[in-house]
Amino acid sequence: MKNRRIVITGIGVISPIGKSKEEFTQALSEGKSGIDKITRFDASEYSTKIAGEVKNFNPEEYIDKKKARRMDRFVQLGVAAAQSAISDSMLDLSKEDLTRIGVIVGSGIGGLKTIADECAVLLEKGPRRVSPFLVPMEIINMVGGEIAIEFNFTGVNYGVVSACASSNNAIGDSLRLLRYGDADVIITGGAESSITTVGVAGFCSARALSQRNDNPQGASRPFDKNRDGFVMSEGSGIIVLETLEHAQKRGAKIYAELCGYSATDDAYHMTAPSPDGTSASRAMKLALEDGGIPIEEVDYINAHGTSTELNDKIETSAIKKVFGERAYKIPVSSTKSMTGHLLGAAGAVELIAILMCMEKGFIHPTINYETPDPECDLDYVPNKKRDAQINCAISSSLGFGGHNAVIAVKRFKPPKAV
């Protein structure tokens, strides 16, 4: 089963720093922040007034107007990113067996705005005025369901929910199902849109968010000593995964090979990571083992890097547990320094960041890194991109509930002729 190679052939991304892979890549290269004042609602009374919103997103550019009205924003973002990924992959669906194409998309929270809006209707106008579309609009699996409906994909289809590890788990599940032979192609990734009154209020009350309201673009500062919390963001990252045999048969462009995956849990606390980082480090080790990758071959780590006090120092410790002294020689950077934290969509967007850096020959920076933290002492590629060839990388996502999900990718090398 593990001998079946799985490759990435399509990319779709809608994020606070770009609504296409080209815009996204340019922003990564420039170290551009997508964080600004919240415009989706009046946040004047909130302790945090900033977020990473997707600017100028019009769902009707991607989706029929009537259909779009019956989708929560997180579903709209996911469907739009899927359209971009499928277009980018150059899949000719008229020639494909659609029963062999699946969809697995993760989200940490789902249709929170729909829930909040309809709860207000219930309280103000009574139960008979609640929308009949409440349930299908709010549920997390509807991203995959709507993508399947849009393209008539009748293969494996479900949603994944593991907080901020959701899209890495979705991608990892897709890898294993493709290896097992359950599909030829799987559309996978994550989508999230929880910048809502109740979503922001909840994270504010948990004291998880940065309160650097006077400097939005400088608020997300992973691994910096003066970090004060993460910045909530929205968006979607979707990739097209295929078996190598299927991709080569149709002459597809291959971005990279997805070769390793692992998931563990801290079993420690509902929101805080385990202080020793043991389960997070074990997830990294198992992902490398799954991909048959010696630690000497890893030349870049895309960190979870949330800009919270506990995550950044514990993740640094976990990296050291895996790589030992070599940890100091591996560039580590956090996409969240620019995008903010896309919660359940973060892992997929960060994988796309790796793929674009791999293609363009640079490592994107961790911006806003100004004051070193003695407990965070690795090479975080501070503030400016670094020209480099990435041949093998890992990406970590850690979520509330103790979830750890790690994926490994490497530059594609065609199989040797026999």
Which residues are identified as catalytic? 164, 304, 341
Distance CA(325)–CA(337), nearest Å, equals: 25
Which run of H or of E encompasses 51?
Answer: strand 50-51
Task: Answer left, alpha or beta for residue 331, where phi above 0 means left and psi between -120 and 50 means alpha.
Answer: beta
Distance CA(87)–CA(16), nearest Å, equals: 21
115 neighbors 131 (Cβ within 8 angstroms): no
102 neighbors 180 (Cβ within 8 angstroms): no
65 neighbors 252 (Cβ within 8 angstroms): no
Q: At residue 386, what are phi and psi to the nearest 5 degrees?
A: -130, 125
DSSP assignment letter at 192: E
Q: At residue 335, what are phi and psi to the nearest 5 degrees?
A: -60, -30
* Residue 40, CA distances (Å) to 105, 211, 216, 310 in order: 25, 18, 15, 29
